[in-house]
Amino acid sequence: MSTVIVSRRPRGVVSAMNRGYWSVPGRPVNGPVQDGTDAVITPAAPGSRQGHGPAGRVPYYFRGLQQPSEEGPALLDGPAVDVSDAHELLLGYLEWYRKALMRNLAGLSDDQLRTPVEPLGWSPLGLVQHLGWVERRWLRWGFAAEDVVPCPPGGDAEEWTIADDASAAEVIATYQAETAATKALVAAAALSDKARLGGRFKTLDQASSLGRILFHLFQEYARHVGHLDIARELIDGETGE
Q: Strand, coil or helix: what is 43?
A: strand
Q: How many domains does the chain have?
A: 2
CATH number at residue 197: 1.20.120.450
Degrees, nearest 5: CA angle 41-47-49: 60
Helices within 14-108 (DSSP H only): 86-103
12 and 120 housed in the same domain: no
pLDDT tens digits for the chain (241 residues)?
A: 444 333 333 334 433 333 333 333 333 434 443 444 444 434 444 444 444 444 455 554 444 555 555 666 667 888 889 999 999 999 999 999 999 999 999 999 999 999 999 999 999 999 999 999 999 999 999 999 999 999 999 999 999 999 999 999 999 999 999 999 999 999 999 999 999 999 999 999 999 999 999 999 999 999 999 999 999 999 999 876 6
How many other CB atoms are there within 10 angstroms of residue 99's CB atom? 12
49 and 122 housed in the same domain: no
pTM of the model: 0.71
User: Structural domain of residue 114, as residue ranges?
Assistant: 86-236
